[in-house]
């Protein structure tokens, strides 16, 4: 036997594991994990292991090869039948384990002797020692824990022994029960049936409580170091303690009542009572009281420690200077004033400030400086309470959270190009990745920390529809990184810019500026998502489908929870130009020109635009930046936007002149879709302009598939309906007679049980010369005229204005010609053609709706 390791790139390695640990004792799983993490892996992240209850030959562990350093011919051996055991957290003294074993063992032995003596005394006195209600409770407890809850062999053995001993007590109750019910003959004749009913009731009740407690999605009171059936955090010891405590309390009260009613101690003795007392004291009270006691005053201790910190006079003076709202340079890359800025920011964090509760105006929150006194969190938002409410909603439904094994993907080694300092760029020609999802196997994904590379960033310009500011502060510290946040200036039609600016000023965050793109007229939403991460030697441009929130980036508040939402992100690294010179706008690639034009229309300011021109866009010629600029637009030849902009991008990439095209569009929001709108998407994807002569494409519904979750898919997801508020479709739109229902496909993620916030348009087909082509759009635009623009043929025959209600942006990335050359000339590429360019996040072929109800939600 041994351990077979399967890496994400499909390479396999076999390791024999040591039979003995360093001390010469037989190796167990704790030693196995320690060895693999400390001796084999470069990056010891134990949570990457996926282990079954029992370690057995041939178990698969999914891991990224880059995290491993195989040590040649080292031979090790595993002990067959080893089990995963509870791992003591670092702060727990190892002696706790020995104390626990002694106390629990004492309790188990005394309870066993006690039950044997009770059965013997019952038969001797021709009665039953344990009251019927308590006997049913105890017998059901042993049945449920022996057959359902217990994992460890010693626990199963002990509970089974108690269950068998209880059979003696049940026998005595059924055989001699009538002797105690002579005053009620009907009860005496049916003691067995009454007991059977009580037993069934207690079995159902205990099973329900246990299932609720060990729910892998939302376990009750999870603890670090505990694990159950491969899920970290679940504490069955506390479940056993709580339920056994109730059972023993009920037994004690009812046993006293039984003696008082009988006016006799028949079926009992001082020895039995003494053994029960010792067993309860050792196995319950002392064991759990001593070994599993928790303290909840860590926050209080931290607060007291912080309150004792001294504030220097210099810091106080700097805090006063900051309060004057002096302007902050958000664009300069100079480090000359870094120490001064940092000193003033620290001073600000020490400045006393009264708590202010400001009503949250929308899903976007205005940041508050780290360190300011605020007991209820940012802007009066109690994040702990909100998280508890969300988990409570999740707890209403039990779900299977076992992730599917990832599909085979072609590994894409990143191209290497040097930055201006000689440091290799990680993504010099761009890439598309899935966002990380907690507790799911890593494939071609990326975490928010891996994307940001915060230690290399001096300035960050971020655009998002929603922000979780406290979470983002943990990722990009405003004391170290200068930041501009582009925000949505309207909330349900109300202009909230002034309110948010005032809240931001009151928060006193250093190195921060809020910016609101123009929102006049018909513009309803600033929905574009991008990140411009300026470093000393490179610029990283990221265009995600995700908002800047913890949920959208696959992270969770508790390390035992799986992620609930997935997204995608395009990113590219551009080197700084030699001698820090700026390129001319006319010399930029089409990608660079459209990006700068979009930023100018969003009025981010000349400093941001000038900063971009200091980086080299030469490696973006194979890409297209596609935008939707809010407002009403006439025909624009230089910088078309919306669907006309997509059409121009396809032409500039030479992906037009199409004979046949197939479109697969995954979205998280659907608007009022009809054949006219689908035809316009179809034309734009072919690189064609929308005219009165081609307004409607024949059989357009046969060439477009729309991926959106059904109601059942959301219900069965890990997050459930409570986490699907950003996935929107109104019944009014869907039930319209013009809605293309036959295009709908159920979005079922490759990561089992996760919801999607993706906006991905996959296009594949063949040109008129027979050559195949394929490309993918990733960005913020959903399937709606608000995102891409509404445009109609007027009665006069002219094409009307393009009306766009949202700010949007995205990127078109073609599948490389080298990948297409192997395809059959004149054939239609399958969805497999995207392997190596983008990881398709949903299952194919997807299920048709066929009368299924979509997920409905209207914000």
Q: Does residue 36 sit in the same domain as residue 176? A: no
* Greatest Cα pair distance in the chain: 106
796: burial class by Cβ within 10 Å (0-12, 13-18, 19+)? exposed
Q: Does residue 266 sit in the same domain as residue 171? A: yes
Element (H, E) at 360: none
Determine the Cα–Cα distance for residues 533 and 453; give it in Å rounded to an integer.
9
Which pLDDT value is given to residue 308?
A: 40
Which of 291, 321, 356 is at the close of a domain?
A: 291
Task: Indicate if the pLDDT at residue 338 is higher than 60.
Answer: no
Which of these, 608, 610, 376, 597, lies nearest to 513 by C-alpha position?
Answer: 608
Output the six-digit token pair for 442: 């890593």
Give the CA distances from residue 388 to residues 45, 215, 385, 558, 682, in Å, rounded to whole numbers and listed in that order: 27, 16, 5, 11, 45
Q: Does residue 47 sit in the same domain as residue 102? A: no
Which of these, 159, 165, 170, lies nearest to 283 by C-alpha position?
Answer: 159
Which pLDDT value is given to residue 81?
A: 36
Is 849 inside any structural domain? Answer: no
Which pLDDT value is given to residue 529?
A: 97
How many contiguous H segments (helices) and E segments (strands) does the chain have?
24, 29
Residues in the chain: 859
Q: Does residue 34 sit in the same domain as residue 145? A: no
Which of these, 796, 844, 720, 54, lies nearest to 395 by C-alpha position?
Answer: 720
Is 442 inside any structural domain? Answer: no
Determine the Cα–Cα distance for residues 566 and 546; give it in Å rounded to an integer.
8
CB 88 within 8 A of CB 225: yes
Which of these, 847, 26, 837, lies nearest to 433 by C-alpha position?
Answer: 837
Q: Does residue 49 sit in the same domain as residue 137? A: no
Strands 512-515 and 658-666: unpaired
Task: Indicate if the pLDDT at residue 590 is higher than 90.
Answer: yes
Q: Does residue 11 sit in the same domain as residue 156? A: no
Give the CA distances from residue 671 to residues 497, 729, 785, 788, 790, in Å, rounded to whole numbers and listed in that order: 26, 7, 7, 11, 11
Task: Indicate if the pLDDT at residue 640 is higher than 90.
Answer: yes
Which member of 35, 527, 682, 683 is catalytic? 527
Give exposure, 320-339, as e/b (b: 16+ Cβ within 10 Å): eebeeeeebebbeeeeeeee
Give start and end residues of each alpha helix (H) in 556-641.
590-601, 606-612
List of residues 6+ apart from 367 with CB closer than 8 A: 378, 467, 469, 470, 472, 473, 478, 485, 504, 507, 509, 512
Task: Indicate if the pLDDT at residue 200 is higher than 50.
Answer: yes
Which of 22, 49, 67 is at the close of a domain?
A: 67
Is 166 inside any structural domain? Answer: yes
Which pLDDT value is given to residue 291?
A: 66
Task: Indicate if the pLDDT at residue 419 is higher than 90.
Answer: no
Which 8-state DSSP code applies to residue 692?
G
Q: Can you spell out the DSSP letters for 711-734?
A: HHHHHTSSS-GGG-TTSBB-HHHH
The parent domain of residue 168 ranges over: 95-291
490-498: Cβ within 8 A, 24+ apart? 490/519, 490/523, 490/524, 490/525, 490/526, 491/361, 491/362, 492/362, 493/524, 495/519, 496/361, 496/362
Q: Can you spell out the DSSP letters for 815-847?
A: PPHHHHTTSPTTPPP-GGGGTTT----B-SSPP
Strand spans (E) along 104-219: none
Give start and end residues of each alpha helix (H) in 602-739.
606-612, 642-652, 675-685, 711-715, 731-734
CB 678 within 8 A of CB 744: no
Instruction: Say whether 795 counts as a known binding-site residue.
Output: no
C-beta atoms surrounding 851 within 10 Å: 6
What CATH number does residue 673 fall under? 3.30.870.10
CA 665 distance to own-chain centroid: 23
Determine the Cα–Cα distance for residues 696 and 686; give it in Å rounded to an integer.
14
Is 509 inside any structural domain? Answer: no
Q: How many C-alpha atoms does 249 have within 13 Å on its Cβ side? A: 8
For the stretch 831-847, pLDDT in tens is 999 999 999 999 999 99
Active-site annotation holds for 537: no
Which pLDDT value is given to residue 316?
A: 38
Q: Does residue 148 sit in the same domain as residue 35? A: no
Look at 6-15, 202-211, 297-306, 633-642 and tell me which has the smallest mean pLDDT.
297-306
CA dihedral 814, 820, 821, 827 (to 10 degrees): -130
Which pLDDT value is given to residue 707?
A: 98
Strand partners, 624: 812
Helix 132-144 × helix 153-176 angle, to 10°: 150
Is 169 inside any structural domain? Answer: yes
Q: Does residue 63 sit in the same domain as residue 130? A: no
Q: Does residue 664 sit in the same domain as residue 759? A: yes
Q: Does residue 249 sit in the same domain as residue 159? A: yes
Which pLDDT value is given to residue 70?
A: 36
- More confidently predicted of 711 and 261: 711
* pLDDT (average), residues 611-631: 96
For the stretch 678-698, pLDDT in tens is 999 999 999 998 887 777 898
CB 790 within 8 A of CB 803: yes
Give the CA distances from residue 841 to residues 561, 576, 704, 832, in Å, rounded to whole numbers and listed in that order: 21, 33, 18, 12
Q: Does residue 23 sit in the same domain as residue 147? A: no
Which 8-state DSSP code applies to residue 848?
B
Most confident of 159-173, 190-204, 384-398: 190-204
CA dihedral 417, 420, 424, 428 (to 10 degrees): -40
Look at 231-245, 284-298, 650-664 and tell me which has the smallest mean pLDDT.
284-298
Which pLDDT value is given to residue 655?
A: 96
List of residues 6+ apart from 269 with CB closer than 8 A: 117, 121
Is 538 inside any structural domain? Answer: no
Rg (C-alpha) for the chain, rounded Å, is 33
Which pLDDT value is given to residue 728?
A: 94
Which pLDDT value is given to residue 230?
A: 63
Q: Can you spell out the DSSP letters for 599-614?
A: HHHTT--HHHHHHHTT
Which pLDDT value is given to residue 375?
A: 32
DSSP helix, strand, coil percent of the chain (3-state; round to 5) = 40, 15, 45
Determine the Cα–Cα distance for residues 96 and 86; give it in Å rounded to an integer.
12
Output the six-digit token pair for 820: 């297409």
Which pLDDT value is given to residue 318?
A: 39
Q: Does residue 700 sit in the same domain as residue 664? A: yes
Which pLDDT value is given to residue 370?
A: 38
Total domains, the chain = 3
Task: Indicate if the pLDDT at residue 346 is higher than 50.
Answer: no
Which pLDDT value is given to residue 509?
A: 82
Instruction: Say whether 324 counts as a known binding-site residue.
Output: no
- More confidently predicted of 406 and 699: 699
Most confident of 239-243, 738-742, 796-800: 738-742
Which pLDDT value is given to residue 829?
A: 93
Which of 232, 259, 291 is at the close of a domain?
A: 291
Is 230 inside any structural domain? Answer: yes
Is 148 inside any structural domain? Answer: yes
Active-site annotation holds for 660: no
Q: Enter the pTM of the model.
A: 0.58
Q: Write down the mean pLDDT value for the chain.
A: 78
For the stretch 695-743, pLDDT in tens is 789 899 999 999 999 999 999 999 899 899 899 999 999 999 999 999 9
């Amino acid at each position: 036997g041994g351990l077979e390791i399967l890496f994400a790139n499909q390479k396999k390695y076999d390791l024999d594991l040591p039979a003995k640990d360093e001390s010469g004792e037989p190796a167990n799983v704790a030693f196995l994990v320690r060895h693999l993490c400390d001796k084999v892996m470069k990056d010891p992240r134990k949570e990457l292991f996926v282990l079954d209850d029992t370690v057995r030959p041939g178990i698969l562990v999914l891991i990224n090869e880059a995290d491993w350093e195989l040590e040649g011919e080292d031979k090790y051996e595993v002990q067959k039948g080893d089990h995963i055991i509870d791992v003591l957290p670092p702060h727990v003294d190892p002696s706790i384990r020995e104390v626990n074993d002694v106390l629990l063992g004492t309790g188990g032995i005394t309870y066993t002797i006690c039950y044997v003596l009770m059965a013997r005394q019952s038969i001797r006195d021709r009665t039953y020692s344990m009251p019927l209600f308590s006997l049913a409770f105890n017998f059901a407890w042993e049945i449920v824990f022996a057959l359902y809850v217990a994992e460890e062999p010693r626990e199963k053995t002990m509970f089974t022994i108690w269950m068998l001993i209880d059979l003696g007590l049940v026998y005595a109750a059924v055989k001699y029960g009538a002797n105690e019910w002579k005053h009620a003959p009907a009860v005496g004749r049916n003691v067995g049936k009454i007991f059977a009913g009580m037993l069934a009731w207690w079995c159902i009740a205990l099973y329900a409580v246990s299932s609720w407690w060990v729910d892998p999605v939302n376990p009750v009171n999870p603890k670090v170091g505990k694990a159950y059936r491969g899920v970290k955090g679940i504490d069955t010891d506390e479940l056993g303690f709580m339920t056994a405590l109730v059972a023993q309390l009920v037994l004690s009260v009812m046993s006293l009542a039984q003696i008082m009613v009988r006016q006799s101690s028949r079926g009992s003795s001082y020895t039995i009572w003494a053994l029960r007392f010792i067993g309860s004291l050792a196995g319950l009270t002392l064991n759990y009281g001593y070994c599993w006691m928790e303290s909840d005053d860590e926050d209080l201790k931290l607060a007291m420690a912080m309150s004792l910190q001294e504030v220097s006079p210099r810091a106080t003076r700097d805090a006063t200077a900051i309060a004057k709202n002096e302007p902050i340079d958000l664009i300069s890359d100079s480090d000359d004033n870094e120490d001064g800025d940092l000193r003033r920011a620290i001073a600000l964090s020490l400045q006393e400030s009264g708590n202010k509760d400001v009503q949250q105006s929308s899903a976007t929150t205005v940041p508050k400086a780290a360190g300011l006194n605020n007991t209820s969190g940012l802007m009066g938002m109690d994040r702990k309470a909100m998280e508890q409410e969300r988990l409570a909603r999740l707890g209403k439904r039990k779900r299977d959270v076992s992730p599917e094994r990832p599909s085979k993907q072609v590994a894409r080694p990143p191209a290497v190009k040097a930055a201006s300092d000689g440091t290799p760029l990680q993504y010099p020609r761009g890439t598309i990745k899935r966002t990380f999802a907690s507790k799911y196997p890593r494939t071609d994904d990326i975490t928010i920390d891996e994307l940001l590379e915060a230690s290399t960033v001096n300035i960050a310009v971020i655009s998002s529809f929603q922000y979780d500011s406290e979470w983002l502060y943990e990722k990009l510290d405003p004391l170290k990184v200068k930041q501009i946040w582009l925000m949505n200036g309207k909330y349900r039609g109300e202009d909230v810019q002034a309110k948010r600016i005032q809240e931001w000023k009151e928060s006193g965050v250093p190195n921060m500026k809020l910016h609101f793109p123009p929102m006049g007229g018909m513009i309803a939403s600033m929905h574009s998502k991008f990140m411009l991460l300026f470093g000393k030697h490179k610029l990283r441009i990221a265009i995600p489908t995700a908002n800047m929130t913890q949920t959208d980036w696959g992270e969770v508040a508790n390390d035992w929870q799986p992620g609930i939402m997935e997204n995608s992100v395009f990113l590219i690294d551009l080197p700084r130009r030699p001698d820090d010179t700026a390129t001319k706008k006319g010399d930029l690639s089409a990608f660079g020109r459209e990006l700068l034009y979009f930023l100018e229309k969003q009025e981010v300011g000349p400093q941001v635009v000038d900063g971009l021109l200091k980086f080299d866009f030469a490696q973006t010629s194979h890409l297209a930046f596609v935008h939707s600029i809010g407002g009403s637009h006439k025909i624009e030849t230089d910088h078309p936007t919306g669907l006309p902009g997509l059409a121009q991008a396809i032409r500039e990439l030479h992906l037009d002149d199409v004979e046949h095209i197939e479109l697969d569009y995954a979205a998280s929001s659907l608007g009022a879709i009809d054949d006219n709108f689908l035809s316009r998407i179809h034309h734009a994807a072919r690189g064609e302009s929308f005219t009165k002569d081609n307004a409607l494409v024949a059989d357009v519904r046969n060439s477009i598939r729309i991926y959106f979750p059904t109601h059942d898919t959301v219900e069965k997801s890990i997050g459930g309906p409570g986490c699907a508020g950003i996935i929107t479709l109104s019944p009014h739109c869907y039930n319209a007679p013009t809605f293309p229902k036959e295009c709908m496909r159920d979005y079922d993620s490759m990561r089992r049980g996760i919801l999607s916030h993706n906006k991905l348009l996959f296009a594949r087909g063949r040109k008129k010369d027979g050559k195949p082509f394929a490309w993918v759009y990733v960005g913020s635009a959903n399937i709606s005229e608000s995102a891409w623009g509404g445009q109609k043929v007027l009665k006069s025959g002219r094409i009307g204005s393009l009306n766009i209600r949202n700010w949007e942006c995205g990127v078109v990335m073609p599948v490389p010609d080298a990948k297409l050359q192997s395809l059959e000339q004149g054939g239609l590429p399958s969805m497999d053609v995207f392997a190596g360019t983008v990881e398709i996040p949903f299952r194919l072929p997807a299920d048709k709706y066929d009368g299924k109800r979509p997920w409905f939600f209207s914000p």
